[in-house]
Amino acid sequence: MGINSAAPYNGVRSETPPGSENAHSLQGGNMGFKHKDIIALQDLTKDEIQLLLDTAENMREVNSRDIKKVPTLRGKTIINLFYEASTRTRTSFEIAAKRLSADTINISPSTSSATKGETLLDTALNLLAMKPDIIVMRHAISGSHYFLGKRLPCSIINAGDGAHEHPSQGLLDMLTMRQKFGRLDGLKVAIVGDITHSRVARSNIHGLTKMGASIRLCGPPTMVPPGIERLGNVTVCNDMRDAIADADVVMMLRIQLERQGKTLLPTLKEYSRYYGLNPENLKLARKDAMVMHPGPINRGVELSSYVADGDQSHILKQVENGVAVRMAMLYHVSGGELPTE
Ligand code: CP
């Protein structure tokens, strides 16, 4: 099966992809969400982000019931194709799909024919032959979701692509902030750590600046890409104390040693001293500032355990909101009805 066996497709849901046997039409109730795929918050408008967050609030109500299941996606098939490790994202996409009554299948690289040298496109085309409605994928290569999204008629949801974007994480972060402050507009958000390798940072920068928040970025100079200020209402601070001063939200990032081609910091101890969040420097932020982290945490490196487990930490709330956000994403790319029962 070759690269040309699936014709290019422009990614807009309201159009029928050429040669598609399983294209699903946009049904009523989807309130104008036009995208076949969700790959990056950079691609979504402010209204579309707002819609996803509002739908996630509806889904939270479903998640609070004794019986956490609605028939919204009954008959739909969702494949979770994760080429990188994941605890939170993969599990919550699976729970989200099951709560919407979809059938889910999980594929990991160690158990797939990728180990035998099969290309990503061949794997995807073979999965497509089994007629999934949505493929949720995590892949180390930035842009791999655009590559598949243009070639496959089923929906593609990005569960993280290299250092590019992690849209479901950005959405669940914004939902968690909005729940605390009742708004995103005007919030001061500090993002501290390895900005260069962080798809979480990039999704939050695109999403939060569209929603009217201002961002302060801080990290070792080797971990802050030059020109990142051009992405929106973004300021780069050299000193972490300037970044977190009076901040409403302090979002700490994991050092991604697995994505670094060379050593970008002298020692983890030194990193922790200058770029770690602890009870002392947290006092510089607003008294009720939220502490966030996408996980997994390097305890004692970017975040002290006192802060990670303290009253201002919203880390497990982020994880809880991840299920509702992912239900909203699955719902909107499927064009289903909002749950009523
Ligand atoms: N935040 C996040 O993406 O976590 P996982 O790698 O566990 O999915």
Give yes or no for a contact between 218 and 242, defined as CB atoms under 8 angstroms apart: yes
pLDDT, residue 264, reads: 74
- Please name each of the domains of the chain with its CATH number: 25-165+321-334 (3.40.50.1370), 167-318 (3.40.50.1370)
User: Quick one: which of 202, 196, 278, 191 has its CA closest to 235?
Assistant: 191
SS3 label, residue 209: helix
| Structure token pair of residue 69 | 């299941």
For ligand 1, whether the C-beta of 34 sits within 6 Å is: no
Ligand 1 centre from 90 Cα, in Å?
8
Q: What span, in angstroms and rounded, lies between the C-alpha atoms of 320 and 96?
A: 11
What tens digit of pLDDT does each residue of 70-118 get?
999 999 999 999 999 999 999 999 999 999 999 999 998 787 788 888 9
Q: How big is the chain by its Cα radius of gyration, in Å?
A: 20
Ligand 1 centre from 262 Cα, in Å?
23
For ligand 1, whether the C-beta of 295 sits within 6 Å is: yes
For ligand 1, whether the C-beta of 89 sits within 6 Å is: yes
Q: What span, in angstroms and rounded, lies between the C-alpha atoms of 184 and 181?
A: 7
Nearest alpha carbon, ligand 1 atom 3: 89
For ligand 1, whether the C-beta of 167 sits within 6 Å is: no
pLDDT, residue 16, reads: 34
Q: For residue 335, name the pLDDT band (cuts at 50, 70, 90).
A: confident
In terms of Cβ atoms closer than 10 Å to its own Cβ (0-12, 13-18, 19+), residue 268 is middle
| Structure token pair of residue 51 | 């819609």
SS3 label, residue 165: strand
Residue 104, C-beta contacts closer than 8 angstroms, at least 6 positions apart: 77, 78, 79, 80, 94, 97, 98
Atom of ligand 1 nearest to the CA of 89: 8
Over residues 169-180, the mean pLDDT reads: 98
Q: For residue 268, name the pLDDT band (cuts at 50, 70, 90).
A: confident
Residue 245 has pLDDT above 50, yes or no: yes
Nearest alpha carbon, ligand 1 atom 6: 86
Say if pTM beats, i.e. exceeds, 0.85.
Answer: yes
**Pairing mode, if any, of strands 77-82 and 234-237?**
unpaired
For ligand 1, whether the C-beta of 294 sits within 6 Å is: yes
Atom of ligand 1 nearest to the CA of 294: 1
Q: What span, in angstroms and rounded, lies between the C-alpha atoms of 155 and 323?
A: 19
SS3 label, residue 159: strand
Q: How far is CA 166 from CA 84, 105, 154, 158, 309, in A?
A: 13, 21, 20, 7, 24
For ligand 1, whether the C-beta of 84 sits within 6 Å is: no
Atom of ligand 1 nearest to the CA of 322: 1
Ligand 1 centre from 8 Cα, in Å?
30
Residue 202 has pLDDT above 50, yes or no: yes
